[in-house]
Amino acid sequence: MRSGAKTPRRSSATGQGFALPWMIGVVLLFHQFFKRMPRELAEAAALDGAGTWHTFTRVMLPAASLLSLLPLALAFLLGQRYLMRWRVSPASGV
């Protein structure tokens, strides 16, 4: 590499600039999911003697277990896409 040559800039679409909107989207996704859950589930748990934390961890969170896989799968797929683009880009010098 020549001493005066500039190194190519990588895309900032992933990384810190992408993390905050991603986290906000995940929080909104979970918020909408829990907002649409029937209140009767929480009321039934309260009648059984469960507190707030117990209701959340034993009733609400297991219902959202499949929903929690969606952000993980999307993050994995987007990360693979970014890595593949970085590995095969002609500017990487490989």
Q: Is 50 contained in some domain?
A: yes
Q: Is 26 contained in some domain?
A: no
Q: Where are the alpha helices (DSSP H) in the chain?
A: 16-36, 39-47, 52-55, 61-63, 65-88
Q: Is 72 contained in some domain?
A: yes
Domain count, the chain: 1
**For the segment 40-80, what is each residue's pLDDT rounded down to a tens digit?**
999 999 999 999 999 999 999 999 988 989 888 888 887 77
Q: Is 94 contained in some domain?
A: no
CA–CA dist 35, 28 (Å, integer): 10
Q: Is 22 contained in some domain?
A: no
Q: Is 49 contained in some domain?
A: yes
pTM over 0.75: no
Range of the domain at 53: 37-86
**For the segment 7-48, what is each residue's pLDDT rounded down to a tens digit?**
555 555 555 667 778 888 889 999 999 999 999 999 999 999
Q: Is 21 contained in some domain?
A: no
The torsion angles phi and psi of 42, rounded to 5 degrees, stand at: -70, -35
Q: Is 32 contained in some domain?
A: no
